[in-house]
């Protein structure tokens, strides 16, 4: 397997995040438990920041105020790829950024659009990430590889795994 440059790894990470679109945002509760929620990613041009809409008075916002270190994981079944992004989250009140990021589909969660009471932004500043990408694009080929490994006892070549420093 060829070594990838940091820039190549960053570009691959951008592609995987863009393709996934829905992430599981994991915060820590007041009693020290990890809690994950599905969140729709708002900015597809991943530049190290992940943006989400939320309610300012939500448990999510309270949790990240107390413990800003979060994780956002993405899964893209079509690409057989998984991504995990760690970073610091903060609530951001920025009307211009909200207007830039707003998508009419968000009305399903925020019925009054940008005028929804308590609407706020969550910004996750990525610090590091890791991604895994299956070597085969076919689910059947991937499953056959797992079965072969189980029968022969030999570890399957699971594809590509990279850690990215941001």
As a residue count, the chain comes to: 166
Per the confidence metrics, is the pTM higher than 0.85?
A: no
What is the percentage of the chain residues whose pLDDT exceeds 90? 52
Task: Give per-residue pLDDT as tens, 49-77.
Answer: 999 999 999 999 999 999 999 999 998 87
Residue 164's pLDDT is what? 64
Phi/psi at 24 (5° precision): -100, 110
Q: What is the largest CA-CA distance in the chain?
A: 60
Q: What is the pLDDT of residue 100?
A: 94
Q: How far apart are CA 59 and CA 29, in angstroms?
A: 9
The domain ranges of the chain are 6-165
The token duo for 152 is 């022969």
Whole-number Å distance between alpha carbons of 45 and 90: 19
Which of 3.30.70.120, 3.40.720.10, 2.30.110.10, 3.20.20.140 is the CATH number of 6-165?
Answer: 2.30.110.10
CA gap 78, 52 in Å, rounded: 23
């Amino acid at each position: 397997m060829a070594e990838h440059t940091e820039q190549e790894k960053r570009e691959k990470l951008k592609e995987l995040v863009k393709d996934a679109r829905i992430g599981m945002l994991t915060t820590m509760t007041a009693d020290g438990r990890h809690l994950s929620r599905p969140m729709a990613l708002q900015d597809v041009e991943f530049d190290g920041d992940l943006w989400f809409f939320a309610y300012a008075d939500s448990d999510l916002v309270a949790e990240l105020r107390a413990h800003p270190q979060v994780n956002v994981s993405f899964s893209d079944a079509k690409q057989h790829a998984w991504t995990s992004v760690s970073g610091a989250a903060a609530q951001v009140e920025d009307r211009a950024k909200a207007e830039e990021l707003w998508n009419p589909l968000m009305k399903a969660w925020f019925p009054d659009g940008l005028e929804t009471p308590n609407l706020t932004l969550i910004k996750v500043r990525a610090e590091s990430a890791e991604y895994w990408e299956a070597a085969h694009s076919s689910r059947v080929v991937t499953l056959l590889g797992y079965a072969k490994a189980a029968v022969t006892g030999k570890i399957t070549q699971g594809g590509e795994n990279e850690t990215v420093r941001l």
